[in-house]
Chain A
Amino acid sequence: MAALYRLALCNIRGYSFRSWVVGLCALLISGLVLATSLILLGAESSLRLAIDRLGADIIVVPEGAATRVETALLMGRPTKVWMPASALDTVAAIPGVEAVSPQVYLASLTNASCCTVSDMFLIVFDPKTDFVVKPWLEKTIGGNLQLGDVIGGSSVYVPEEGIKLYGYYLNLRKNLAPTGTGLDQSLFMTMDTAQEMRRVSLTEAVQPLEIPTNSISAVLVKLKPGANVYAVALEISDRDRTITPIVSPDMFQSYQGQLKGLLGGVLVMIVIILAFSMLLIGLVFSMAANERRRELGVLRAMGASRGFVFRSLVMEAALLAINGGIAGVLLTFLILTLFRNLIISILGMPFLLPSLPVLILLVVGVICLSLVIVVLAASLPAYRISHLDPSIAMRE
């Protein structure tokens, strides 16, 4: 086996064009399959995590604002939507509802001198009724947010001057765990802090922060155990035509649909690319094997069995596949880390890298895949050449 390996290595060295093509195909296969599964799996788990993070069974938003709110929550693209605060009571009165809590969605200004962070999505909650942020706060900082305190998504950091929005300095108490979604770039604050920021903005900001009185952006709804989400949602839209309930299993539905569409397209593309690379590898391999007919005939004359010739050719293919496969994996990780934001904005969807065991499984899986594809593609030409009459193989 060691000798076979050495011979294969020497031949890889000696036939560089063939080696590059086969290696690049293996790279393409492993890289592409890894990248797409990372992105698709990652998008899926991002969506699920974002739903969990919201922690509500139903989110009620103004009519027609559902998509904008979902986009804001998922991509961190700020949105301002308003509905009368009375919606809170309407929803609370529905049987099956255990708790309701309002949220107000704000945005920081774009490139204004008052602000050190621009275009940030701000989520304002009401500590008196909140059931989403508060339990988490108690667990991590052991209490409530004071006036001026904020909680940041995982990628919120404090610039040198401090976080200043609308001329008002905020104090970052804690970062949330990453979700891969826009929530990672959002700030959570209490109503009091938001009102204080509004007051300061009247004199300090280029443009004052507007929070319409008696208005809210969303109502988070928690149901009693056993209550039917869909029945309650139906009741909500029945009682008030100007508001829209989004039930959490259906949350980000357009994204989930998009994901399914993407998955289908990508699968087709991968199958085409796999078939194409198999063809290409088979072609290049039989070309190279043909070129080496005489050399392989010489090996046979020196006492190499058909099996030896076959194995040494397949061994070459396998070595190329493994090296190409590993290169593809490394390249994928490099690209995904360097261009993560670009990919997210092109895709219009966030993605979260999976946990280490899943990651290792994926990496091993794609390397095996390129190994199998390359070896399969090389097998037929290798078999044909190894079964050629050596005396014919040695003739030009």
Chain B
Amino acid sequence: MIVLDKVSKIYPISKENQVAAVQDINLEIPMGEFLVITGRSGSGKTTLLNLAAGLTRPTSGRVLFEGVDWWSLPDREQSLTRNQKIGFVFQFPSLLPALTVLENIALPTIINHSQDFQEIYPRAVKLVETLGLSDKRSSYPRQLSAGQQQRVVIARALLNQPAVLLADEPTSNLDEQTELEIMELFAEIHQRTGITIVLVTHSAQLVRFGTQSVQMAVGQVVTKQT
């Protein structure tokens, strides 16, 4: 369970001005849900995801991940939790250009040096197969289409079999057909593994893929649906 307890994130812009990217949000995300967050650009969706993952410290309020306040942990433990429990799909191209597809997918284990590349290799290969990228495993990201790149990012997010998958507008760079394919992939993964998914999108049509949805406007949650 991820709990946001009266969380605000305020960015100073100049000496007098500041922006409340997220303001006084109370939100509970139970395990096993597929939550879709919608909202216009600038409504604070990315900030909310970053707060949930402990990537940025809230200006006020608490963020609990599995009952533990992110900010009661030192950096090492925060990082380890993220590595083991959270998979990220970003709003922007996030594959490392210098690494091949397979190496990119293996990155989460390279970072957490408890496992050897040799050990996770079969798992990475299997993921590549499941996501239909078998013939691309030695390619570099620039040699892939946007849709293929996003599949690689999803594979990477799933490598450590995390409890939570956080996806920030994962289909915003894709055409409609590919967008649907990727959304179906998320739904399928959710059904098959029971993983918790929090997916951000600005397209209200994608709400139907989730089990819950919330809408954001100017840093606040305006509606919740189940």
Contacts and interface: CB of A to CB of B under 8 A. Distances in A.
Contacts of A390: 50, 55-56
Contact of B82 (A303, A391, A392, A396): A303
Which secondary structure characterizes the binding site on chain B?
helix
A391 B56 contact: yes
Given A3-B113, A303-B83, A303-B108, A391 B92 contact: no
Contacts of B94: 294-295, 298
A299 interface: yes
B103 to A, nearest CB: 7
B47 interface: yes
Nearest to B51: A391
Nearest to B93: A294
B99 A10 contact: yes
A314 to B, nearest CB: 16
Given A3-B110, A4-B113, A389-B56, A303 B84 contact: yes
Given A15-B98, A391-B55, A392-B56, A302 B111 contact: yes
Contact of B83 (A298, A302, A391): A302
B79 A303 contact: yes
Contact of A308 (B46, B50, B99, B111): B111
Interface in A14-32: 14-15
B186 interface: no
Point out which of B56, B75, B111 has the most chain A C-beta atoms below 10 A from its C-beta: B111
B121 interface: no
A134 interface: no
A14 B88 contact: no
Contacts of B84: 303
A229 B116 CA distance: 73
A303 B98 contact: no
Interface residues of A, number: 30
Contacts of A372: none
Q: Categorize the interface residue count of chain B.
A: 35 or more
Contacts of A295: 94, 96
Nearest to B157: A302
Nearest to A10: B98
B15 interface: no
Interface in A305-350: 305-308
Contacts of A392: 56
Interface string B72-111: 0001101111111010101010101111000100011111
A364 B46 CA distance: 50
B113 A303 contact: no
B37 interface: no
B7 interface: no
Contacts of B117: 3, 6
Which of B46, B79, B99, B113 is the most central at the interface, judged by chain A CB atoms within 10 Å of its CB?
Answer: B79
Given A1-B113, A391-B56, A302 B82 contact: yes
Given A306-B79, A391-B50, 6 more contacts: A4-B110, A10-B99, A13-B98, A14-B98, A303-B81, A391-B47
18 contacts: A1-B113, A3-B111, A3-B117, A10-B96, A10-B99, A10-B103, A14-B98, A298-B94, A302-B82, A302-B156, A303-B84, A304-B111, A389-B55, A390-B50, A391-B46, A391-B47, A391-B50, A391-B56
Interface of A: 1-4, 6-7, 10-11, 13-15, 294-295, 298-308, 389-392, 394, 396
4 tightest Cβ-Cβ pairs between the two chains A and B: A303-B83, A14-B98, A391-B56, A305-B79
